[in-house]
Amino acid sequence: MNNLKNNIDYTLLFIVFLIGLVSLFTLYTITPSLPAKYDSSNFLFQQLVWYVAGGFVITLIMLIDYDRFRQLTWIIYGVGMTMLLMLFFRFPAAIVHEANNAVSWFKIPVMGTLQPAEFMKVILVLTIAHVIYIHNEKNVNRTIKSDLLLLAKISAVSLPPMGLIAVQPDLGGLLVLAAIAVFMTLVSGIKWRIILSIVLLGIAAVALIIVAYYMFPDSIATFLEESVFKHVSSRFYGWISPEQYSDSGYQLILAMLAIGSGQLFGKGMQTMEVYVPERHTDMIFTAIAEQFGFIGASIVIALFFFLIYRLIHIAILSNDSYGSYLVTGMIGMFAYQIFQNIGMSIQLLPITGLPLPFLSYGGSSTLTYLIAIGIVLNVHSRTKKYMFE
């Protein structure tokens, strides 16, 4: 136990602690400006409770050797898939909760809402890491055939949860799982010529879709409108031309106004003149930028930069391939969500409804991120250091 204490990455813990403080402080400052429907909600207290609960979860995770997770991988994966299937079949109907035309939550008495897609992110990291580790252990001499087999295995465990999350519909959750799979594939040992071939095929597919859209715009628009992804087309149009498509671009216009109005130093604490929907969740970055300006927003981005840097350092430092795969998956999860959330707030990317890790209010998401940090700390604490490395 003393060894574990000595190997805990206090730098990573401190960074998470600072981001957590920013989250609690921001929730405190924006609560008075939230719509009347949130009057009875104490977001600051509830977020603090989730942080405390996450701290206990991190402690429990640290007590178990992360290599033990491999033995439970398929049980954990099965639990995650079962929860997603329950949402798909809306069973049991009494606890399945629908909001914003998406069936993504369970409403549990006392606990509140639970979003399985959030937990599936960490579950997918554990599963892909296990698949890659076992495959590479059995196929020491790499061949194109073995690499293609590994790619098929990664796809086999990634596509089912991605499909179930897509039909909820939850485009943001789908893209996070895709980012995790891509990041872990890049470090899996698959030959680069195979990866480059897939990238080129992907580019060709995107180019084909773009050409088809310009050739048959009405047909493509009708197809999207009649599919489960009808919200994707409206968000895309709202992103490209928010002024022209004011309905779908409404939130983006307000977000840009809020961020721009903060200028260099911001308007000051609790001084928010631009109303932005979902400001305590997906759009919390706009509250920081409006109150504390470019300087405050830059400090938050710097904290996230140090977080990712620290995770990369731990992944490289680990002398166990399974541990490196785990941390790489967490890097993919955090890096994509940070880039997507801030990017959608400044019109760099379309709005997909993803929370900003550790900052946005939300029990399932906050607990998921802290579980991920617990696993990373576990890997670091059990990384052996040798005198003659």
User: Model confidence over 25-47: pLDDT tens digits?
Assistant: 999 999 888 887 776 568 889 99
Please calculate the CA angle 186-66-180 and round it to the nearest 5 degrees. Answer: 25
More confidently predicted of 113 and 3? 113
Q: Delimit the domains of the chain by residue range.
A: 2-381
Tell me the average pLDDT of the chain.
88
Please give the structure tokens belonging to residue 42: 């104490």
pLDDT of residue 342: 94
Residues 339-389 have pLDDT tens digits of 999 999 988 888 887 899 999 998 889 999 999 999 999 999 888 765 555
Sole residue written with tokens 């040992």 = 189
pLDDT of residue 5: 60
Count of C-beta atoms within a 10 Å radius of residue 166: 17
pTM over 0.85: yes
What is the average per-residue pLDDT within 137-165?
Answer: 92
More confidently predicted of 388 and 333? 333
What is the average per-residue pLDDT within 266-279?
Answer: 85
Q: What are phi and psi of 275, to 5 degrees?
A: -80, 125
pLDDT of residue 51: 94
pLDDT of residue 21: 95
Alpha-carbon gap, residue 57 to 9, rounded angstroms: 16
Q: Which of 96-105, 107-116, 131-140 has the highest mean pLDDT?
A: 131-140
Residue type present at position 145: K
pLDDT of residue 387: 52
Alpha-carbon gap, residue 215 to 107, rounded angstroms: 45
pLDDT band at 228 (very low <50, low <70, confident <90, very high): low
pLDDT of residue 341: 93
Please give the structure tokens belonging to residue 32: 């008075």
pLDDT of residue 40: 53
pLDDT of residue 388: 53
